[in-house]
Amino acid sequence: MIDLRSDTVTKPTPGMLAAMAAAEVGDEQMREDPTTNELQRRTAKLLGHEAALFLPTATMANQAALRVLSTPGCKVVAEERTHVLIYEWGGPAIHSGLVMQGLVADAGRPTPEQIEEVDELGTGSVVVLENTHRSSGGRIWPLEEFRAAADAARARGAAVHLDGARLFNASVAAGIAPAQWGALADTVTVCFSKGLGCPLGAILAGSAETIERAWQGKFLFGGALRQSGIAAAAMLYALDHHVERLADDHARARRLAEGIGIDPATVETNFVPIPDEPGLRERLLEQGVGVGGLRPGRLRAVTHLDIGDEEIEQAIERMQEVVGVHA
């Protein structure tokens, strides 16, 4: 099967496995894992913050961030189809006692006016901005629009969390350093098990004081590990070898879109949105192409490290028969 369901299906490369095998390790909970410490130092800087914390998943990083930034009974506000609102099993309500409010917004980007109008938004609440935005098809927040939304949240007294699970995709596609978006938020999540090709791992970045307090969430959620340097080594390897190449994933996504008759202008990063119809996913699977769900009425084909030019051309051939070039 040509697996375009998600960029999370990648397997570690031989180079990454070698880096993991050679990792210098120690007890992370004692803050003695040198490779994890190095990863945290490096990513803090990359994301425009003083400090960073390694966590096993981006979900845990998001939840740890909300816990540290919020007060129970206050709100988490985000576009209605953000990961934190609909794919984290009510975590903001369960772990942090937050009222979860979704905003309907074009391309996953609530406007400053929408944020200004949210009732009961104030100190103790958090506005989450997702970049790239998953459910709109990997769309990118233009920097100035992002700044205006963050400013609007701050003006209301709320904190700002950036769910940048795929922030490196945004960065490579837009030619903007991750720190530019990162520094505009109080905390930033980045996921390493998606386009960056790691088997696990995420980072939460913020001020030294915020990250110190986020350790509580790391323990509470069971994410305080021991020799985590094995994973951190893969993540450092990915920073060195798998960031720039995201441009190839984006080019392949555009090529795939063109090949199956989807407007390539709708493809900003590594997701190709495909209009859904009953049985389409199954018919594609019969042709040997796996696609995933994007949102109601849309499927997604996602390019990643394990998909080369040859797979894209084959996928186009197989998908044309089902999707048709006029999709």
Chain contacts with ligand PLP (rule: CB under 6 A): 57-59, 62, 83, 130, 134, 163, 165, 191, 193, 202
Identify which of residues 43 and 57 has a Cβ nearer to ligand PLP in the complex: 57
Least distance between ligand PLP and beta carbon 87 (Å): 7
Closest CB to ligand PLP among 28 and 130? Answer: 130
| Main-chain dihedrals φ then ψ at residue 174, nearest 5 degrees | -95, -10
Cβ at position 6, least distance to ligand PLP in Å = 7
Beta carbon nearer to ligand PLP, 176 or 327: 176
**How far apart are CB 165 and ligand PLP at their closest, in Å?**
3
Cβ at position 286, least distance to ligand PLP in Å:
26
Cβ(235)–Cβ(196) under 8 Å? yes
In whole angstroms, how close is the CB of 200 to ligand PLP at the nearest point? 8
Closer residue to ligand PLP (CB): 46 or 190: 190
Phi, psi of 262 (to 5 degrees): -100, 140
Nearest approach in angstroms of CB 110 to ligand PLP is: 15
Helix (H) or strand (E) holding 168: helix 167-174
Q: CA of 205: how far to CAs of 2, 174, 190, 236, 257, in Å?
A: 35, 21, 8, 16, 34
Q: Which is nearer to ligand PLP, 146 or 156 (CB)?
A: 146
Burial class (CB in 10 A: 0-12, 13-18, 19+), 93: middle
CB of 294 to ligand PLP, least distance (A): 11
Q: What are phi and psi of 92, to 5 degrees?
A: -60, -35
Question: Which C-beta is closer to ligand PLP: that of 8 or that of 37?
Answer: 8
225, 28 in Cβ contact below 8 A?
Answer: yes
What's the CA gap between 73 and 58, in Å, rounded? 24
Cβ neighbours for 186, distance < 8 A, ≥ 6 positions apart: 69, 159, 160, 161, 206, 207, 210
Kindly tell me which of 138 and 259 has the beta carbon lying closer to ligand PLP. Answer: 138
Say if residue 13 is preceded by a cis peptide, omega within 30 of 0. no
**CB-based contact 77:115 (threshold 8 Å):** yes
What CA–CA distance (Å, rounded) separates 294 from 310?
A: 24
